[in-house]
Structure 1
Amino acid sequence: MARAAGNKDRPYQLVIFGASGFTGQFVVEEVSRVADGGDFRGQALRWAVAGRSREKLQDVLDWAAERLAKPQLKSIDILICDVNDAPSLAEMCKKASVVLDCVGPYRFFGEAVVKACVENGAHFVDISGEPQFLESMYLKYDSQAADKGVYIVGSSGFDSIPADMGVLFTRNSIQGTLTAVESFLSFKSGPEGTCIHDGTWQSAIHGVADQGNLRKLRKQLAFKPLPVVGKKLKRRGAVFYSNEVKEYSIPFMGADAAVVKRTQRYLHENLQETPVQYGAYVSVGGITSVITLMFAGFLFLLFTKFSFGRNLLIRYPKLFSFGYFSKEGPTPKQMAESSFTMTFFGEGYSQDQDPQQGKPNIKICTQVSGPEAAYVATPIGMVQAGVTILKEPDALPKRGGVYTPGAAFSKTKFIDRLNKAGIHFNVISKTEI
């Protein structure tokens, strides 16, 4: 099916829906930066902000204008649109080539926007780290989006661009066949520590509480197991000491593993590429950090089992997360002093070696690193995903549909765009065994 007919000639190339939210305001900043350079230099990017309150949206534009010393931002167009008002969503989508949806939790507010985009021919990008939402959108809308030539690209923020594109970068950096890779995520912060807005906390609460429905959804999807090529990757324990990063580590509880698996399935089934096994972990430091984390995790899991407990967690995020989540979010200083590094340890087979015979004979280490994850790196990822859809339509999959970032962008210059924007991909070492 041809890509959304007439889409490129719409009044706005990008519309930021939920621009007055905590994350949305930083997406506004990032779109403004992109509009001045690279792909759009010499040709004005047509963009607008959308949401329920004209006053709040104008406040965000005024705030961004002051922070970036760009008074012209004050006159960016505003579209009034409510996630609970289907006609207003349809009107917004008719005017946009790509909608950047910043309104979460997506399990409650995402589907209405996806539906409106599919029905009205607008491409869609979100920053969801919620596997149930992401996979249910695939189940419900993939064939409709394909018929309309619309691209629905989920998980295009910190969940899960570093992991998904990092695996592809690692695969592309090896001369041969990559068969397995593990990633270890670490965060750095300044003297004032770090903090995340409680919108992410709420998504995690509802996601853990609803694990049963996620299992039912995956039974409906009924995917066949991916073939295991090369040595089978062993799963690590709940807490373990990693010799790779010299710290205690735990499985990463976000959407990364699920997103990477969907990408690998798409590449294997549609492009006949060798599927890569993947394990996602996060470094937590020394034994004191492990004990604190185990205690916090026990409380979190216990409270999510009951509606009363979930309400307490939502009402007092700072208390129950030991200060890591708050209704205020991080300060500008906390954001400026924070960064992330995701290190990938992969193994595979050289070009002259049969992956089905013998042991792996190549090891590779790569890194994806960048600024503060939630409100600096996430807007970079989201905006560059939107720009890639606009600028490289012929490099996208041949049919529209519901995609992961790796599936949508594996043949594009997306990683190059991320490198230039501040999320860096590097090969650390590569050795033959």
Structure 2
Amino acid sequence: MASGRPYDLIIFGASGFTGQFVVEETARVAAEADSPRPLSWTVAGRNRTKLEEVLGRTASALGAPELKSKECIICDINDPLSIASMCQQGSVILNCVGPYRFFGEPVVKACIENGTHCVDVSGEPQFLEGMQLKYDEQAAEKGVYIVGSCGFDSIPADMGILYTRSQLKGILTAVESFLLVKSGPEGASFHDGTWQSAIHGIADQENLRKLRRQFGHKPLPVIGAKLRRRGSVFYSNIMNQYAIPFIGSDPSVVKRTQRYLHENLKESPVQYGAYAAVGGLGSVILLMIAGFFFWCFSSCRWGRNLLIKYPEFFSAGYFTRQGPSRKQMEGTSFSMTFLGEGYQEGQDPQEGQDPQQSQPTVKIYTQVKGPEPGYIATPIAMVQAAVTILWEQKSLPNRGGVYSPGAAFSKTTLIERLNKHGIEFAVISKPEA
């Protein structure tokens, strides 16, 4: 990649709802004293006034008036020349412009063409896997790292499994994770951009299946006992409440990582089941009703239009165009508990017996916990992913390419960086509800 660029990091879409919090987190990290050298960064977007407003709010929030005079890069996702110009000025682009299925590809393309690394916070499997299929070889030729899903989707899950494996004395063969989001007196909510991504994702499931067939992947081998599938609703004794399968991008991202580690680093693949704790029976009933109507409306055009036009009504106020308030974010936190199982060191889980009948001999409980997931934890994860690419390129995969977080960062200190910034990884003797 070309050197001598004016900026280490450029936040594209800095005036968007997520982007403004990424700006704050970048400013905090740039002010830290332990960087190899001063971190240079700026913001980019199509509206100078809005970019300057974000810089002004960040300056006031952090007591850093010098941020108000920071130069802005003006570019528009619909103007390829302006996107190329932005990429030529930075080492790593932090792309906050979504939904990525509509706006992500021009940034990926421009980054590769101009030798610029890129991270995003997409939770959209079709975009993530489509970019890998289309651009992985081109990125490899350019030595560029394109790493998607570097926010709450899906760094806690993907890196959490790698952490669990590193802490187990033996061979980790299967993991289940249970997500719990706790809100304070003000409740919790999310910006409707996440709502729109979910609507389009459900509507486009058939195209996602077609896309995956183009990879021609062989099934990953099952090592040891096969991880049993749980029902659509079940009571978790670990979490002391009901749980449902987690419908986000975590399972698909983890599977991409496990495939990369198995095929390229000859590591034993880990089976994975992702779940979310939802509370008591009343919550389950409400979720089932809401989920049924959400699926029905997402499956037809008129229904999708209604869901997108009236997010607050159809989500009972959980998704809004304004996004959560500061008080809501300050009162919200998450934990992701991992139940890992495997086999003792020196034991072959498949030797002399049917792996389907073999019972795991060791277990481990780990946990990743942190602040509000959407707009506090996500910026932390995104910025730390970007600086890891910037400072630890010798620890990244030998070739450039389009990667999942675990594939890109398995040999880096990303977990240690996250621990220092409020997303904590730990072994727990007993799962915390």
TM-score (norm 2): 0.97
Deviation at 1:40, TM superposition (A): 2.6
Q: 1:117 aligns with which of 111, 119, 138?
A: 111
Match of 2:355 in 1: none
CA distance in 2, matches of 1:74, 1:211: 44
Q: 2:44 aligns with which of 26, 40, 50?
A: 50
CA distance in 1, matches of 2:94, 2:320: 24
**Per-residue displacement from partner, 1:220-241 (whole Å, max 9, x unpaired)?**
1111100000000011111111
Match of 1:315 in 2: 309
Regions of 4+ moved over 4 Å: none
2:390 aligned with 1:390:
yes
Match of 1:25 in 2: 20
Match of 1:66 in 2: 60
2:82 aligned with 1:98:
no
| Contact map agreement 1:230 1:360 (CA 8 A) in 2 | yes
SS in 1 for 2:238: coil
**Per-residue displacement from partner, 1:54-95 (whole Å, max 9, x unpaired)?**
000000000111111110111122000100100000000011
Q: Which amino acid in structure 1 is aligned with residue 248 of structure 2?
A: G
SS in 2 for 1:283: strand
CA distance in 2, matches of 1:39, 1:318: 43
Output aligned runs, 1:167-206, within 5 Å. Answer: 167-206=161-200
| Contact map agreement 1:188 1:340 (CA 8 A) in 2 | yes
CA distance in 1, matches of 2:198, 2:67: 34
2:256 aligned with 1:262:
yes
Q: Which amino acid in structure 2 is aligned with residue 122 of structure 1?
A: T
Deviation at 1:205, TM superposition (A): 0.4
**Per-residue displacement from partner, 1:234-278 (whole Å, max 9, x unpaired)?**
111111111221211000010000000000000000000000000
SS in 1 for 2:420: helix
| Contact map agreement 1:178 1:346 (CA 8 A) in 2 | yes
SS in 1 for 2:428: strand
Match of 1:161 in 2: 155
Output aligned runs, 1:220-239, within 5 Å. Answer: 220-239=214-233
Output aligned runs, 1:329-348, within 5 Å. Answer: 329-348=323-342
CA distance in 2, matches of 1:245, 1:57: 43
Deviation at 1:215, TM superposition (A): 0.5
SS in 1 for 2:98: coil
| Contact map agreement 1:27 1:379 (CA 8 A) in 2 | yes
Q: Which amino acid in structure 2 is aligned with residue 421 of structure 1?
A: H
Match of 2:354 in 1: none
Deviation at 1:39, TM superposition (A): 4.0
Q: Which amino acid in structure 1 is aligned with residue 27 of structure 2?
A: S
SS in 2 for 1:254: coil
**Per-residue displacement from partner, 1:21-68 (whole Å, max 9, x unpaired)?**
000000000000000115437x42111100000000000000111111
| Contact map agreement 1:348 1:361 (CA 8 A) in 2 | yes
SS in 2 for 1:40: coil
| Contact map agreement 1:10 1:94 (CA 8 A) in 2 | yes
Q: Which amino acid in structure 1 is aligned with residue 255 of structure 2?
A: K
Match of 1:419 in 2: 419
**Per-residue displacement from partner, 1:358-377 (whole Å, max 9, x unpaired)?**
42110100000000000000
Match of 2:139 in 1: 145
**Per-residue displacement from partner, 1:340-387 (whole Å, max 9, x unpaired)?**
000000100110311214421101000000000000000000000000
CA distance in 2, matches of 1:268, 1:180: 14
**Per-residue displacement from partner, 1:117-142 (whole Å, max 9, x unpaired)?**
00000000000000000000000000
CA distance in 2, matches of 1:378, 1:123: 19
Match of 1:349 in 2: 343
| Contact map agreement 1:202 1:314 (CA 8 A) in 2 | yes
CA distance in 2, matches of 1:223, 1:366: 30
CA distance in 2, matches of 1:232, 1:386: 36
Instruction: Name whichever of 353-362 and 154-163 sits farther off.
Output: 353-362
CA distance in 2, matches of 1:304, 1:360: 41
CA distance in 1, matches of 2:22, 2:71: 15
CA distance in 2, matches of 1:314, 1:148: 38
Q: Which amino acid in structure 2 is aligned with residue 393 of structure 1?
A: Q
| Contact map agreement 1:249 1:283 (CA 8 A) in 2 | yes
Q: Which amino acid in structure 1 is aligned with residue 426 of structure 2?
A: N
| Contact map agreement 1:47 1:77 (CA 8 A) in 2 | no
Match of 1:405 in 2: 405
Q: 2:272 aligns with which of 272, 278, 285?
A: 278
Instruction: Work out the percentage of aligned pairs sharing the same amino acid.
Output: 67
Q: Which amino acid in structure 1 is aligned with residue 156 of structure 2?
A: P
Match of 1:135 in 2: 129
Extract unaligned runs of 5+ from structure 1: none
CA distance in 2, matches of 1:306, 1:395: 46
Match of 2:373 in 1: 373
CA distance in 2, matches of 1:195, 1:133: 25
SS in 2 for 1:278: strand
Aligned-CA RMSD value: 1.1
